Amino acid sequence: MVKLSLRTKSIGTKVTNEEYAELERAAQTGGKTLGEWCREVMLANVNGHAPKDLPHGGSESQALMAELVALRTILLNVLYKQVNGDTLTAEEMQQLIERADADKLKKAAERLRHGSKLGST
C-alpha cells in the first residue's frame, strides 16, 4: 500500500502588487496555480536545481546569459574603439571588464525576462 504524504504546513510572504503580478505571470506561463508554482520554485531551490517551468531560466541559464552579456559589452566596446582608430590601454581594458562584470547579472535578468532579446549595451 502506498502511503500518501499530505501537505499540512504553509508558508506565507508579503509582496508588492508588481511582484505579485510577476509571480502570477510566471505561474500562468507554466500552466500552474500560483501556489503550485511557488512550491515548485522553492523546493527546486532547496534541492539545488532549476524548476522545469521557470520562465527566466534557472541559475545556470542566468549565469550563462550574464557571461554572454559581459562578453558582448566588452567586445562591442573594444570594436568601437578600434573602428575609430583608438587603442585600449591595459588600464582601460581592466575598467571595461570591471564595468561589464558589475552590470552583467542585472542585464542578464532583464534579457531573460524579455524573451532573451539582446538589446543595446
Give the model's pLDDT for residue 46: 78
As given in the structure block, the three cell numbers for residue 29 are 506561463
As given in the structure block, the three cell numbers for residue 55 are 520562465
Boundaries of domain holding 24: 17-46
| Domain co-membership, 25 together with 63 | no
The angle formed by the CA atoms of residues 14, 39 and 41, to the nearest 5 degrees, is: 95
The count of structural domains within the chain is: 2
pTM of the model: 0.47
- The verdict on residue 23 lying in a domain is yes
- The verdict on residue 51 lying in a domain is no
- The verdict on residue 92 lying in a domain is yes
Alpha carbon distance 33, 24 (integer Å): 8
Percent of the chain whose predicted confidence (pLDDT) is above 70: 82
